[in-house]
Chains A and B, each alone.
Chain A
Amino acid sequence: MENEIKRLEEEFQKDFQEIKSSKDLEALRIKYLGRKSAFMQLFSRIPTLAKEEKGIWGKKLNTFKNKITSLLESKAGQGENNEEKIDLTAPSVSREEGSRHVLSTVSKEICSIFERLGFITIEGKEIEEEWYNFEALNIPSEHPSREDFDTFYLDIGEKDKGKYLLRSHTSPSQIRVMKESKPPLAVISPGRVYRPDEVDATHSFMFHQIEGFAVAKDMNFAHLKGVLLHFVREFFSTGVELRFRPHFFPFTEPSVEVDISCFICKNKKVEDSKKKCSVCKGKGWLEILGCGMIHPKVLKACGIDFKKYKGFAFGMGVERIAMLKYGINDIRLFYENDVRFLKQFSL
């Protein structure tokens, strides 16, 4: 047995000198330590030996095995040196990741900010009844205020002609929730809305809005301001300020339009046309949403006692907010789905 081990070792040393690649190395390992190797055959003879010999030969064989193993391992790193060199400047293999649409991520981000304040998100339907889209929101038919809301009407059946429409804003979601559930309420509602506008760089007949509202006994305008200020600071940047400009919406009283201080030029109202901020056009302010205290008539239409309860509501266009945040200059980009656009906003 002694001789056999010695012969094996000599043979191995010879073969070992000739190793050129990691492939050779592996072949050597199999030849000397593999299942059918001479070494394993020696090993399998141990059980047949006398008791005191078992230990001795077992040890010797293990020493042999360890020696070979460590030699092989020592060569393993060097083996690489013999590998063919490749051109590492060649382009990488492109991996196409999946992605969410930027309007989805922006919409989700906005909803999440309000959710953390205690709002919950409920979606409405896009096919809406005229009453929910208009009358309940204090926009009577034949009233000039309705002209601000051009609307697509749907042909669903002779009987219901003119009853169904594609919602022109997400406010009907507010009506549906208020009508079906008792206050206190704090709800945010995102979704698609439709208006017959010709498509150009800033208009689209389909776009996305987010409506939010809260109704409780002690709700007031200061709360509306606080909630919105928290939102813009979390969404845009911690330093932004809000400006509340009086406006008119039939469904809120008071009604206000809200501007944020331009987060690009930091509200520097530069008038020099060359140095003017391209985002706010030197005005220093950017209009981002409309809001107000819910009109008592709206509460009443939903069966809520307006003497007991008060509420605020706000609504914003998701496209506009995404355009401001990412400097997107054409609304059509959202619906063309050019992969070069999509892949810039992966998740």
Chain B
Amino acid sequence: MRFSLNFIQEFLRVDVSPKELASLLTMAGMEVECLEKQATDWIFDIEVTTNRYDWLSMLGIAREIAVVLGKKLKVDYPSPVKKPSLSTRDIVIEDKRDCPYYIGRRIEGIKVSSPKSWLQERILNCGLTSVNDIVDITNYSMLKWGNPLHAFDADRLEGNIYIRRAKKNELLVGIDGKERILTKENLVISDSKKVIALAGIIGGKNTEVTETTKNIFLEAAVFSPLTVRRSRRAAGLDTESSYRFERVVPSHLLEYASYEAAKLITEVSGGKNKGYKVAGKKPQLEKKSIMISLNSLSNYLGLVPLKSKVKKILQNLDFKVKDLSKDKMIVSPSRSRFDVKREVDVYEEFSRIYGYDKIPSEIPFLKRNLAISDQTAQYYFKGELANFVALLGFKEIITYSLEEKEQLKIEDNGVIELINPLRSQENALRSNLFFGMAKSLKYNLNRASMGTGNRGDLHLFEIADIYSKTSKGFSETSTLALSISGKKRDFFFLKGAIEKILNFLNLDNFEFKEEALNNFTNSLRINVGNCNLGFLGKLNQQQKNNFDLKEDLFFAQLDLSSVVKNRGQKKYKSFSSFPAIWRDISISVKKSIKFKEIEKIIKADNRYLASLAIIDIYEGKDIPQGHRAFTLRIFYQSGERTLTSNEVDCFHNQIRESLNKQEDLSLR
């Protein structure tokens, strides 16, 4: 909202510099976002918070300025003349809840011309557009008092004035030239034949004041905030007028606004006041009496102010203050302050004028209910896990939780859609972390951002929630995603990372199980018993093409809620203090035999078998077609003594023999 300093000076002499004023207002809660000089005037652009309806008028702003300057505001209210009574038409309100109060005035014999310069300056400097002197006067009045007015060309009105809900499919062409089809949501002003305005929002073209207008009908009214809000939403527009009605207009000033506008019109454009009529009743503003206690105020703010100081500030705000006792006072806020209802509202009024900088700063000794301490586990778990994954050389990324539903739906039919998406690219909640990962990867590959130093290897991870509809409603699950890509990395690097992570979480009894998954070739499920923890796999060619990726991408996802359920306690495991002895073994195996089967044979007798490592895998020359050769190193160790060479040879020979018995496997 913009206001002009010259306009304010109609109410109050301001004797500080505009800059100083801007800073005083900002520190009292009326944030001046921009201050600029305009000829002899200063324009203040302020933020009007939704509680301060009263700042939507120059009077309200002037009152605030008086407070920050420590001045008393004296307003010369006009004395409305309510004669002669309008006899030519009736004003009929259909429902007083939509419109409790309506004042009509008829002015005859005017001559519409371009606006006077002083009037135009007021209008333009407050950010409105100047139209003609009649329209400008109604806007001037709105700016001054906060009550929007509307002038109709009285000669184009037929019969009575009705304030009623629109009938279905009634039409109105607004003064903006747009035709709108109305519904029952719209409150309208009509005459006996046609709709002439969307009440509190915009006037109709059919009764607009033009250069040829001679007689006018001037409307001043109070419309229900909620009705105007719904009506303007249904009509799809937002005006200076509707903005004010939606936030409550000062009905106690309506008579002044109506009379002063009519008076100005006759002064500026000639003409005579020829009729006044009221429908409904001026809303009775409830008299609020709020009891406050100095003691409670001190306890609330952590500051002990003088009672006289409190009273002075409140009285400056135009609040009435009555002493009840040494501690207690009755405060009656000014009529324009609809937002001050409770003790704490009064505390705020006091403290914002008193100055928050005068309240001391103190660190409290914080107590807390012991019962909430166990709700922190999830947060700390995720932090620890993320640090560990970073330790493994992965970089954490953060990607958007919103995705395109068509893309997600291929995977999952429980996708949660947005009712009001911003764009179709982000119209659903993601049910996996894959697409964000793939997009980040592609972004980096396209920009060659990894540089030349690291051969294009990229290891990324994200911990975020994924969402899905379920039979019970929906789920939101913390999830870890890992990906690796680059020439030097393969599936087993990622598999190794998963093993490390699960070991870190003391989850020892997990198993990998081959399972075909959409979008992946060579994919494994990760299970603990019957519980599925997640999967890993290599992105298939189709998806690689889809993301235009040249390098292989390996991706894994772990459901952290399942992981947490299955994680064990960390416990020290003792290890042998006697040396280990190793023996190598070379075998050639048909490719159909899985490594796991070989491992099983070797580990059949595990009394002294400490560990097993693959030293080399080889295919090609000297190896039969369809076979591959392994060189394995087997470590033998005892927890009780040093094994002798002979013993180890003996165990090792047993393994050689049992391997030799296998079909499609030969010792080399």
Q: Determine which residue in B342, B395, B465 has the highest number of CB atoms from chain A within 10 A of its CB, and name it.
A: B395
What chain B residues lie within 8 Å of A198 (beta carbons)? 422
Question: Bound state CA distance, A165 and B226, in angstroms?
Answer: 23
Within 8 Å CB of B421, what residues of A?
152, 196
A255 to B352, CA, bound (A): 9
Which of B397, B419, B459 is close to A101, meaning CB atoms less than 8 Å apart? B397
Given A185-B369, A214-B366, A245-B31, also A220-B300 (CB < 8 A): yes
Whether A120 touches B373, Cβ cut-off 8 Å, given contacts A100-B387, A164-B474, A221-B302, is: yes
Which listed segment binds B: A17-25, A82-90, A335-343? A335-343
In the bound complex, what is the Cα–Cα distance between A181 and B375 (angstroms)? 11
Contact, CB under 8 Å: B476 / A122? no
Known contacts A99-B390, A293-B344; A220 and B302 CB within 8 A of each other: yes
Is residue B601 within 8 Å, beta carbon to beta carbon, of the partner chain?
no
Q: Which residues of A contact B387 (CB under 8 A)?
A: 100, 347
Which A residues lie within 8 Å of B375 (CB)?
120, 122, 177
Q: Contacting A144 at CB < 8 Å: which of B247, B390, B454? A: B247
| Chain A residues, Cβ within 8 Å of B398 | 101, 103-104, 334-335, 337
Is B469 on the interface with A (CB-CB < 8 A)?
Answer: yes
Nearest CB in chain B: distance from A154 CB, A: 6
Q: From residue A261, how far is it (CB to closest CB) to chain B in Å?
A: 12
Q: Which of A135-154 contact B (CB under 8 A)?
A: 142-145, 147-148, 152-154
Q: Please judge, given known A-B contacts A218-B299, A220-B301, A225-B360, whether A123 and B378 are in contact too, CB under 8 Å.
A: yes
Q: Within the complex, which residue of B303, B367, B390, B447 is in contact with A100, where a contact is CB–CB below 8 Å?
A: B390
Of A91, A181, A256, the residue contacting B372 (CB under 8 A) is A181
Tell me the smallest distance from the CB of A316 to a CB of chain B, in Å.
Answer: 17
Closest to A230 in B: B363
Q: Is A216 an interface residue (CB 8 A)?
A: yes
Proximity string of chain B (379-409) to chain A, C-beta cutoff 8 Å, 1 when within and 0 when not: 1100100110111111111111110000000
Q: Which of A40-48, A56-64, A246-254, A273-281 contacts its partner?
A: A246-254
Q: Are A186 and B389 interface neighbours, CB within 8 A?
A: no
Q: A142's contact among B229, B396, B420, by CB below 8 Å, is which? A: B229
The docked-state distance in angstroms from the alpha carbon of A192 to that of B636 is: 52
A96-B393, A98-B392, A122-B372 are known contacts. Are A205 and B360 too (CB-CB below 8 A)?
no
Interchain CB contact (< 8 A) of A182 among B301, B364, B369, B395? B369
A239 near B: Cβ within 8 Å?
no
Expressed in whole angstroms, the minimum distance between the Cβ of B423 and any Cβ of chain A is 9
Q: Name the distance in Å between A295's Cβ and chain B's nearest Cβ.
A: 7
A98 touches B444 (CB 8 A): no
**Contact A181–B444 (Cβ < 8 Å):** no
B347 at interface, CB cutoff 8 A: yes
B396, A342: Cβ atoms closer than 8 Å: yes
Binding site of A, secondary structure by majority: helix, strand, loop or mixed? mixed
A205 CB contact (under 8 Å) in B299, B397, B422, B474: B422
Query: Secondary structure of the B side of the interface?
Result: mixed
Chain B contacts for A155, CB-based, 8 A = 416-419
- Please name all residues of chain A whose beta carbon is closer than 8 Å to the beta carbon of B54 when the two chains form the complex: none
CB distance from A278 to the nearest CB of B (A): 19
CB distance from B318 to the nearest CB of A (A): 17
A108 touches B366 (CB 8 A): no
Q: Is A119 an interface residue (CB 8 A)?
A: yes
Determine the chain B residues whose CB is within 8 A of the CB of A340 once the complex forms: 449, 451
Give Cα distance in the complex from A157 to B393, angstroms.
Answer: 42
Which of B26, B247, B302 has most A Cβ within 10 Å? Answer: B302
**Contact flags (1/0) for A183-208 with B, using CB distance below 8 Å?**
11111001010101110000001100
Q: A222 touching B459 by the CB < 8 A rule?
A: no
A305 CB to closest chain B CB (Å) equals 14
Q: Is the CB of B364 within 8 A of A214?
A: yes
Q: A222-B359, A223-B363, A339-B450 are in contact. Are A154 and B383 (CB under 8 A)?
A: no
Set of chain B residues within 8 Å of A143, measured between Cβ atoms: 50
Chain A residues packing against B (C-beta within 8 Å): 91, 94, 96-101, 103-104, 108, 111, 117-123, 125-127, 142-145, 147-148, 152-157, 160-162, 164, 166, 177, 181-187, 190, 192, 194, 196-198, 205-206, 214, 216, 218-223, 225-227, 229-230, 243-248, 250, 253-256, 293, 295-296, 310, 334-340, 342-343, 346-347
Q: Which residues of B contact A (CB under 8 A)?
A: 26-29, 31, 49-52, 226, 229-230, 246-247, 299-303, 342, 344-345, 347-348, 351-352, 356-357, 359-369, 371-373, 375-376, 378-380, 383, 386-387, 389-402, 416-422, 426, 429, 440, 443-444, 447, 449-451, 453-454, 457-460, 464-465, 467, 469, 473-474, 476
Closest 7 CB pairs of A and B: A222-B302, A246-B29, A118-B366, A94-B453, A248-B49, A244-B356, A254-B348
